[in-house]
Structure 1
Protein backbone atom coordinates (compact mmCIF):
# COMPACT_ATOMS: atom_id res chain seq x y z
CA UNK A 1 0.00 0.00 0.00
CA UNK A 2 2.93 2.31 0.70
CA UNK A 3 4.12 1.81 -2.86
CA UNK A 4 0.65 2.67 -4.18
CA UNK A 5 0.52 5.89 -2.17
CA UNK A 6 3.98 6.89 -3.37
CA UNK A 7 2.83 6.51 -6.99
CA UNK A 8 -0.21 8.71 -6.49
CA UNK A 9 1.45 11.17 -4.09
CA UNK A 10 4.14 11.75 -6.70
CA UNK A 11 1.41 13.69 -8.52
CA UNK A 12 1.11 16.08 -5.51
CA UNK A 13 -1.91 14.36 -3.90
CA UNK A 14 -1.89 13.96 -0.13
CA UNK A 15 -4.68 11.94 1.46
CA UNK A 16 -6.20 12.90 4.79
CA UNK A 17 -8.10 9.61 4.98
CA UNK A 18 -7.86 6.36 3.07
CA UNK A 19 -10.03 3.32 3.65
CA UNK A 20 -10.02 -0.10 2.07
CA UNK A 21 -13.22 -1.57 0.65
CA UNK A 22 -13.54 -5.32 0.20
CA UNK A 23 -14.74 -6.50 -3.23
CA UNK A 24 -17.24 -8.77 -1.44
CA UNK A 25 -19.09 -5.68 -0.22
CA UNK A 26 -19.66 -4.76 -3.88
CA UNK A 27 -20.75 -8.35 -4.64
CA UNK A 28 -17.67 -9.08 -6.74
CA UNK A 29 -15.29 -12.02 -6.76
CA UNK A 30 -12.53 -10.07 -8.51
CA UNK A 31 -9.08 -10.17 -6.96
CA UNK A 32 -8.26 -6.51 -6.72
CA UNK A 33 -7.84 -3.92 -4.01
CA UNK A 34 -10.29 -1.03 -3.77
CA UNK A 35 -9.58 2.13 -1.80
CA UNK A 36 -11.59 5.26 -1.13
CA UNK A 37 -9.64 8.34 -0.15
CA UNK A 38 -10.12 12.04 0.58
CA UNK A 39 -7.40 14.56 -0.23
CA UNK A 40 -6.64 17.84 1.53
CA UNK A 41 -8.95 19.78 -0.81
CA UNK A 42 -11.85 17.45 0.17
CA UNK A 43 -11.96 15.76 -3.24
CA UNK A 44 -12.81 12.07 -3.22
CA UNK A 45 -10.56 9.56 -4.99
CA UNK A 46 -11.46 6.00 -6.01
CA UNK A 47 -8.39 3.79 -6.31
CA UNK A 48 -8.43 0.33 -7.87
CA UNK A 49 -5.27 -1.79 -7.72
CA UNK A 50 -5.07 -4.80 -10.04
CA UNK A 51 -2.31 -7.36 -10.51
CA UNK A 52 -2.62 -10.03 -13.17
CA UNK A 53 -0.45 -11.92 -15.62
CA UNK A 54 -2.74 -11.71 -18.63
CA UNK A 55 -3.44 -8.63 -20.72
CA UNK A 56 -5.94 -6.08 -19.34
CA UNK A 57 -8.52 -6.03 -22.15
CA UNK A 58 -11.69 -4.05 -22.80
CA UNK A 59 -13.81 -6.74 -21.11
CA UNK A 60 -11.87 -6.09 -17.89
CA UNK A 61 -12.39 -2.35 -18.39
CA UNK A 62 -16.17 -2.88 -18.66
CA UNK A 63 -16.12 -4.94 -15.46
CA UNK A 64 -14.12 -2.20 -13.75
CA UNK A 65 -16.68 0.41 -14.79
CA UNK A 66 -19.48 -1.75 -13.35
CA UNK A 67 -17.51 -2.12 -10.11
CA UNK A 68 -17.06 1.65 -9.97
CA UNK A 69 -20.83 2.12 -10.43
CA UNK A 70 -21.44 -0.31 -7.56
CA UNK A 71 -18.93 1.59 -5.42
CA UNK A 72 -20.67 4.92 -6.02
CA UNK A 73 -23.98 3.34 -5.00
CA UNK A 74 -22.39 1.81 -1.90
CA UNK A 75 -20.91 5.08 -0.61
CA UNK A 76 -23.73 7.30 -1.94
CA UNK A 77 -21.55 9.85 -3.74
CA UNK A 78 -19.50 10.26 -6.92
CA UNK A 79 -15.74 10.49 -7.00
CA UNK A 80 -13.86 13.45 -8.46
CA UNK A 81 -10.79 11.35 -9.40
CA UNK A 82 -10.56 7.70 -10.44
CA UNK A 83 -7.20 5.90 -10.38
CA UNK A 84 -6.23 2.47 -11.73
CA UNK A 85 -2.93 0.99 -10.55
CA UNK A 86 -2.21 -1.81 -12.99
CA UNK A 87 0.55 -4.41 -13.04
CA UNK A 88 -0.26 -6.04 -16.39
CA UNK A 89 0.03 -5.31 -20.09
CA UNK A 90 -2.70 -2.87 -21.14
CA UNK A 91 -4.74 -3.22 -24.32
CA UNK A 92 -4.93 0.06 -26.25
CA UNK A 93 -8.73 -0.13 -26.59
CA UNK A 94 -9.16 -0.66 -22.85
CA UNK A 95 -6.81 2.23 -22.11
CA UNK A 96 -8.66 4.53 -24.50
CA UNK A 97 -12.04 3.54 -22.99
CA UNK A 98 -10.90 4.23 -19.43
CA UNK A 99 -9.22 7.53 -20.31
CA UNK A 100 -12.39 8.61 -22.12
CA UNK A 101 -14.33 7.95 -18.91
CA UNK A 102 -11.90 10.08 -16.88
CA UNK A 103 -9.64 7.42 -15.34
CA UNK A 104 -5.98 7.99 -14.54
CA UNK A 105 -3.97 4.84 -15.30
CA UNK A 106 -0.64 4.00 -13.65
CA UNK A 107 0.78 1.05 -15.58
CA UNK A 108 3.74 -0.70 -13.97
CA UNK A 109 4.49 -3.84 -15.96
CA UNK A 110 6.56 -6.33 -13.98
Structure 2
Protein backbone atom coordinates (compact mmCIF):
# COMPACT_ATOMS: atom_id res chain seq x y z
CA UNK A 1 0.00 0.00 0.00
CA UNK A 2 2.87 2.35 0.73
CA UNK A 3 4.29 2.13 -2.80
CA UNK A 4 0.82 2.69 -4.26
CA UNK A 5 0.36 5.87 -2.28
CA UNK A 6 3.85 7.07 -3.22
CA UNK A 7 3.04 6.62 -6.92
CA UNK A 8 -0.25 8.50 -6.64
CA UNK A 9 1.02 11.18 -4.26
CA UNK A 10 3.98 12.28 -6.37
CA UNK A 11 1.90 15.38 -7.18
CA UNK A 12 1.92 16.26 -3.45
CA UNK A 13 -1.54 14.95 -2.67
CA UNK A 14 -2.05 14.48 1.06
CA UNK A 15 -4.97 12.37 2.19
CA UNK A 16 -6.84 13.42 5.32
CA UNK A 17 -8.60 10.06 5.47
CA UNK A 18 -8.04 6.74 3.77
CA UNK A 19 -10.35 3.71 4.04
CA UNK A 20 -10.08 0.16 2.74
CA UNK A 21 -13.14 -1.25 0.96
CA UNK A 22 -13.36 -5.03 1.04
CA UNK A 23 -14.20 -6.50 -2.41
CA UNK A 24 -16.35 -9.15 -0.69
CA UNK A 25 -18.77 -6.42 0.40
CA UNK A 26 -19.36 -5.72 -3.31
CA UNK A 27 -19.74 -9.46 -4.09
CA UNK A 28 -16.51 -9.45 -6.09
CA UNK A 29 -14.08 -12.36 -6.12
CA UNK A 30 -11.37 -10.48 -7.98
CA UNK A 31 -7.87 -10.15 -6.54
CA UNK A 32 -7.92 -6.41 -6.06
CA UNK A 33 -7.34 -3.91 -3.29
CA UNK A 34 -9.73 -0.95 -3.09
CA UNK A 35 -8.99 2.26 -1.21
CA UNK A 36 -11.14 5.34 -0.77
CA UNK A 37 -9.51 8.59 0.31
CA UNK A 38 -10.25 12.26 0.80
CA UNK A 39 -7.57 14.87 0.09
CA UNK A 40 -7.11 18.24 1.79
CA UNK A 41 -9.36 19.98 -0.76
CA UNK A 42 -12.19 17.52 0.10
CA UNK A 43 -12.00 15.72 -3.25
CA UNK A 44 -12.67 11.99 -3.19
CA UNK A 45 -10.09 9.59 -4.67
CA UNK A 46 -10.74 5.95 -5.54
CA UNK A 47 -7.67 3.73 -5.83
CA UNK A 48 -7.83 0.19 -7.17
CA UNK A 49 -4.82 -2.09 -7.33
CA UNK A 50 -5.13 -5.17 -9.51
CA UNK A 51 -2.92 -8.14 -8.64
CA UNK A 52 -3.15 -10.11 -11.88
CA UNK A 53 -0.14 -11.16 -13.94
CA UNK A 54 -1.86 -11.85 -17.24
CA UNK A 55 -2.64 -9.17 -19.83
CA UNK A 56 -5.16 -6.50 -18.73
CA UNK A 57 -7.76 -6.62 -21.52
CA UNK A 58 -11.01 -4.87 -22.41
CA UNK A 59 -13.06 -7.39 -20.40
CA UNK A 60 -11.10 -6.45 -17.27
CA UNK A 61 -11.65 -2.76 -17.99
CA UNK A 62 -15.40 -3.34 -18.29
CA UNK A 63 -15.34 -5.13 -14.93
CA UNK A 64 -13.47 -2.21 -13.31
CA UNK A 65 -16.04 0.26 -14.69
CA UNK A 66 -18.87 -1.95 -13.39
CA UNK A 67 -17.12 -2.25 -10.02
CA UNK A 68 -16.83 1.56 -9.86
CA UNK A 69 -20.62 1.77 -10.22
CA UNK A 70 -21.06 -0.67 -7.34
CA UNK A 71 -18.59 1.23 -5.16
CA UNK A 72 -20.24 4.59 -5.79
CA UNK A 73 -23.61 3.05 -4.82
CA UNK A 74 -22.03 1.50 -1.72
CA UNK A 75 -20.54 4.77 -0.43
CA UNK A 76 -23.34 7.03 -1.79
CA UNK A 77 -21.15 9.52 -3.65
CA UNK A 78 -19.13 9.93 -6.85
CA UNK A 79 -15.33 10.12 -6.96
CA UNK A 80 -13.56 13.05 -8.57
CA UNK A 81 -10.32 11.12 -9.15
CA UNK A 82 -10.04 7.43 -10.03
CA UNK A 83 -6.66 5.67 -9.99
CA UNK A 84 -5.89 2.17 -11.26
CA UNK A 85 -2.60 0.43 -10.57
CA UNK A 86 -1.79 -2.69 -12.55
CA UNK A 87 1.30 -4.85 -12.89
CA UNK A 88 0.51 -6.44 -16.23
CA UNK A 89 0.70 -5.47 -19.90
CA UNK A 90 -2.20 -3.20 -20.85
CA UNK A 91 -4.36 -3.66 -23.95
CA UNK A 92 -4.78 -0.46 -25.99
CA UNK A 93 -8.57 -0.84 -26.15
CA UNK A 94 -8.75 -1.22 -22.37
CA UNK A 95 -6.53 1.84 -21.93
CA UNK A 96 -8.67 3.98 -24.22
CA UNK A 97 -11.87 2.90 -22.44
CA UNK A 98 -10.47 3.69 -19.01
CA UNK A 99 -9.08 7.07 -20.11
CA UNK A 100 -12.46 7.87 -21.65
CA UNK A 101 -14.15 7.09 -18.32
CA UNK A 102 -11.73 9.33 -16.40
CA UNK A 103 -9.31 6.78 -14.92
CA UNK A 104 -5.64 7.52 -14.30
CA UNK A 105 -3.58 4.36 -14.98
CA UNK A 106 -0.29 3.50 -13.30
CA UNK A 107 1.37 0.55 -14.99
CA UNK A 108 4.32 -1.24 -13.33
CA UNK A 109 5.18 -3.91 -15.90
CA UNK A 110 8.10 -5.96 -14.64
TM-score bucket of the superposed structures, by smaller chain: over 0.9
Task: Tell me the TM-score normalized by structure 2.
Answer: 0.98
Separation of aligned partners in 1, 2:32 and 2:14: 22
User: Structure 1: which 5+ runs fail to align?
Assistant: none
Q: Could you report, residue by residue, the CA deviation over 1:27-86 in whole angstroms, capped at 9, with x for unpaired residues? A: 111110000000000000010001211100000000001100000000000000000011
Report the CA distance between 1:25 and its aligned residue.
Answer: 0.6
Task: Tell me the TM-score normalized by structure 1.
Answer: 0.98
Q: Secondary structure at the match of 1:20?
A: strand
Report the CA distance between 1:12 and its aligned residue.
Answer: 2.1
- 1:61 maps to 61
How many residues are paired up? 110
Structure 1 runs of 4+ with >3 Å offset: none
RMSD, matched Cα: 0.6
- 1:79 maps to 79
User: Structure 2: which 5+ runs fail to align?
Assistant: none
